[in-house]
Amino acid sequence: MYLTPKFHIEGTDQLERLSRSSADLWNQICTWYWRTVDRQNHWLSKTATRRWHCKGHGRLPSQTAQEVAEQFYQAVGSWHDNDRRGNPPKRCDKEYNVLRWTYQGVTLRDDGVLRLSTKRGEDSILIDWPVDEEPRTVEIGKSSGGFVVRAQYDTEPVDRTTGDKIAGIDLGEKHLAAVFTGQDAFTINGGELRALRHYQNSLKAKLDAKIDRKERGSSRWTKLVQTKNKQLDHIDNKITDLLHKLSRKVVEMLLERRVSAIGIGDVRGIRDRIDYGSQMNQRLHQWAYGEFARMIEYKAKLAGITVERVDEAYTSQECPQCGHRKKPSGREYACSECGFRGHRDVVGAANIRRRYVAKRKYVGNDNSSRLPGVMASPSGVRFHPHLSCSSRSERKTNRQFA
Ligand SMILES: [Zn+2]
């Protein structure tokens, strides 16, 4: 878990100089990176960049210089992850850039002053530190009238679980997540995510059509492309917020149910299981599930829950009691072999749980790996009841953005 305090400090000549030096380095990295892409059609690696540009750059301490490369490659990376939409880090004319120190360069002295290491021969940077904890990273950036300091603490995962239950989590389209704990089940409704995604797709199609009618490269064209990127980014942010909120909810509910270990379906295969429709953006789709799984994973780990990915092939088709396979139809899964009946959405989660239990050969107090013959319906979680109907919410958001 990260805590990030933020406060202002007065500027000094040294900070001023170093921030300019950091900007210099950024500009240099940025220029060379894109030049290599343009002229040689080659993406310069981070290692190469660090070797060629970060050593002995001006008065920057070497670690801070390395962090500028880190920052640049993070920006490039998130642009790639985002389907290369929005702006790549192409601005190579910064005047100031953030200075970043990682833990190696940070010391909290006994008198409550934080010391940031600098290049040999330079004075260290000293900051009155308001908290007892030594931060993992410190960032200092130029702001109006001075500098802003941001620090991150890396607190260790706390063991908050007192439980001994194992849960299986299945990610899917109808329900973003279905969870089975061995005794009860709950689902997280995916309606709002679907609505946002539909809206994003229709907006993209609408704006693309408009853009196509303009002459490529004209000022109207450029303006429309910018508008499009901005609006799509805005929805991306909303989706990320939603995923954070829902993943937090999943972990809360796991803790309430005294779950200490989870198996989560590996979403790499999810593409095969979802009907996209003709205009769906597949990459966004996969991205959202991957992101959601990742969020549950790290939030659960921070809460002291053991997490493992489980191969989810056929988990939606298999009878959790006897292993017989068939494609389910309707809301209920009914096994023709052993008579098992259960709510369809929970069957996947139950199978993932079973595989996980088998994989770990888990020995504990939990001996409910066998399922009751009839599985209860899951309780649903839904955040915005008014958004439960995706078609209605779509119209609503459309109007809002029109
Ligand atoms: Zn069966």
Instruction: State whether 128 and 245 are in the same domain.
Output: no
| Interatomic CA distance for residues 260 and 362, integer angstroms | 12
Query: Is the domain of 252 the same as that of 359?
Result: yes
Same domain, 259 and 339: yes
Per-residue pLDDT of 155-193, as tens digits, reads: 555 556 668 899 999 987 678 899 999 888 899 988 888
pLDDT tens digits, 271-308: 444 444 444 445 456 667 888 888 898 888 888 889 99
Longest C-alpha distance within the chain, in Å?
Answer: 79
- Work out how many domains the chain is built from and give that number: 2
- 138 and 184 co-located in one domain: no
d(CA 384, CA 115): 47
Q: Which residues surround ligand 1, an ion (CB under 5 A)?
A: 319, 321-322, 324, 335, 337-338, 340
In angstroms, what is the span from residue 318 Cα to ligand 1's centroid? 8
* Cα 169 to Cα 186: distance, rounded to the nearest angstrom: 10
Given a cut of 50, whether residue 121 has pLDDT beyond it is yes
Distance 365 CA to ligand 1 centre (A): 25
**Cα-to-centroid distance, 401 and ligand 1 (Å):** 49
pLDDT in tens, 337-370: 888 888 887 898 999 998 898 887 644 444 444 4
Inside any domain, residue 283: yes
Find the 372 Cα to ligand 1 centroid distance in Å.
12
pTM: 0.55
Domain of residue 235, residue span: 165-401
Where are the strands (E) in 164-258, listed by range? Answer: 165-171, 175-180, 185-189
How far apart (Å, rounded) are the C-alpha atoms in residues 205 and 82?
A: 17
Mean pLDDT value across the chain: 79
Q: What stretch of H or E contains 379?
A: strand 379-381
Q: Are residues 333 and 226 part of one domain?
A: yes
Contacts (Cβ under 8 Å, ≥6 apart) of 379: 184, 185, 186, 187
Question: How far is residue 292 from each of residues 44, 193, 247, 355, measured CA to CA in Å?
Answer: 31, 11, 7, 21
Do residues 140 and 173 both lie within one domain?
A: no
Q: Is the dihedral of CA 89, 92, 95, 100 positive or negative?
A: positive
**Same domain flag for 380 and 295:** yes
- Per-residue pLDDT band at 3 (split at 50, 70, 90): low
Beta strands 341-343; 6-9: pairing state: unpaired
Closest residue by Cα to residue 153 from 134, 139, 129, 127: 134
Rounded to an integer, what is the distance from CA 98 to the centroid of its chain? 23
| Judgement on whether residues 146 and 273 belong to the same structural domain of the protein | no
Q: What is the pLDDT of residue 377?
A: 60
pLDDT at 100: 92
* Residue 348 belongs to a domain: yes
Residues 235 and 106 in one domain: no
**Cα–Cα distance, 256 to 60 (Å, whole number):** 49
Same domain flag for 189 and 229 = yes
Distance 334 CA to ligand 1 centre (A): 8
The span from the CA of 32 to the CA of 53, in Å, is 9
- Domain end call among 154, 189, 220: 154
Calculate how far, in angstroms, residue 335's C-alpha sits from the geometric centre of ligand 1.
Answer: 5
Calpha distance 93→34 (Å, rounded): 13
In the block, tokens 């119209």 appear at 395
What pLDDT shows up at residue 116? 92
Task: From 19, 21, 1, select the one nearest 9 (Cα to Cα).
Answer: 19
